[in-house]
Amino acid sequence: MTRILFGLGNPGRRYAKTRHNAGWQVLDQLAERYGEGFRRTKLVHGEIADIQVGEHRIRMVKPASFMNLVGPVYRRAMDVFEVPVDGALVLVDDFSLPMGRLRFRAEGSAGGHNGLKSIQGSLGGSKTYPRLKLGIGPAPEGARWADFVLKRYDAAQRRELPEMLEVAADACERWIREGLIEAANRHNAG
């Protein structure tokens, strides 16, 4: 069975190591774990890497569009790879969660996140699709969210980042093998 891991991020070197690219960073961790690399593709507007987790073929997708335009790429990936909505996990940064905290959700609002708004738009407004929120916070009080998420991790967060990426990669594998409920039971904290 094919599944999709759809990482949210912004293209370009300027954004590569920013908090807003946490979804891509988890996909990079998985690609490294499985000895795979990303390649550009005409099938979807972005890059893909394929891994095998148990009996599941996994298509990891990094859209080449900016965050607020990822919805059409997400929809196209599901159509091209013939994967239903519940078989495509969105990996998304969340500045309201402390650094390293993970939270699986089967549905919910976009919470002001432009990438999630775009995905929900591509689903006709539906808020029901699996996602893994990756804690990159907390944002300093009074900080504008855009200023916070589009900057690189601070020194303390850089020390925590390798463990977060490793645990998030494990969480993705658990979702693939055991489903959303089991993954949430194991990885959702607080």
Residues of the chain by 3-state class (helix, strand, coil), percent to 5: 40, 30, 30
Cα distances (Å, whole numbers) of residue 145 to 108, 133, 160: 20, 16, 21
Phi–psi pair at 70, nearest 5 degrees: -80, -20
What is the spatial distance between Cα 189 and Cα 96, in angstroms, rounded to a whole number? Answer: 13
> Dihedral through CA 44, CA 26, CA 169, CA 92, nearest 10?
-80
Tokens coding 95? 């500045």
Strands 88-98 and 39-41: unpaired
E strands in the chain = 2-7, 39-41, 46-53, 56-63, 88-98, 102-107, 128-137
DSSP 151: S
Q: Which of 20, 45, 56, 187 is catalytic?
A: 20
Q: Please say if 187 is a catalytic residue.
A: no
Enumerate the active-site residues. 20
